Amino acid sequence: GELVAVGLSGLAGAVLFLVPWLDRPARAGRSHWLVWVFGLLGVGYVVVMTVYALWIGRHP
């Protein structure tokens, strides 16, 4: 469980670091739809895991 979470967090960090090189159409004022999807999935993951952690903390 923890290993998967750490691995996914590391992968998300690496992808976030590489966005300027991966999203070349953004330089022309356009953004690739896949970058939006991964961004929304990343934000959703953070929100869901935060709510889950807070819920677990209140319901041991």
Q: What percent of the chain has pLDDT above 70?
A: 97
Q: Which helix (H) or strand (E) holds 6?
A: helix 2-22
CB atoms within 10 A of CB 39: 15
Name the domain count of the chain: 1
Tokens of 59: 């319901």
In degrees and rounded to multiples of 5, residue 30 shows phi and psi of: -115, 155
First to last CA, the chain: 18
Domain ranges, residue 48 = 2-58
pLDDT tens sequence across 15-30: 888 877 777 777 777 7
The DSSP letter of residue 29 is T
